[in-house]
Amino acid sequence: MKEVQVNEIQELLNSFANKDVYIHLETTNGAYATHFDEKVFNAGAFIRNAKIRFELAKIIDDTPHRVGLKMEHGWVYAQGITHYKLDEKGRLLMAGLDYTGKLAVALEISETPFTY
């Protein structure tokens, strides 16, 4: 993955619009967060291989970046995106890595299902 380039990601997002796509959306502060610091309230969520269709997608040029996908009946939203890659399977993998290199958020879009 390389650091976000807004124009490139915007073009890639556009290429998935108005198609049935699978997404992986995840936010996490790690399973050990409370073990290491009892003051941390540990929350996180992920959804994998949800099939959606969006009509409009935007990446906002801020640091870290935000990505929003507008669907017929709702939204997909991710804040904190720092890196991305179009992988060898044509999947757009976006991630937000914190200052120590740990994943804090991920939004991935693919025309085929992700592995299990």
Partner 1 sequence: MTLQPQRQILVVFPHPDDEAFSSAGTIRLYRNMGVPVTYACLTLGEMGRNLGNPPFATRESLPEIRREELKEACKHMGIDDLRMMGLRDKTVEFEDDEKMVKLVTNLIDELNPSLIITFLPGYAVHPDHEATGRAVIEAVRRIPKDERPTVYAVGFANNTLAEVGPPNIEIDVSNVKLDKVNALKAHASQTAWMIEESTKRIDDGRPMSDSWLHFERFYHYQFED
The piece of 6-14, 22-30, 49-57, 71-79 that touches partner 1 (CB under 8 A) is 22-30
Residue 114 near partner 1 by CB under 8 A: yes
28's tokens: 């996490």
Draw the binding track, 75-94, toward partner 1 (x: CB under 8 A; -: no contact). -------xx-x-x---x-x-
Nearer to partner 1, 41 or 116 (CB): 116
Residue type present at position 7: N
86's tokens: 């179009």
* Nearest distance in Å: CB 73, partner 1: 27
What residue has token string 């991920």? 106
Is there a cis peptide before residue 113, judged by omega within 30 degrees of 0? no
Instruction: Determine the 3-state secondary structure of 113 from DSSP.
Output: coil
Residue 63 near partner 1 by CB under 8 A: no
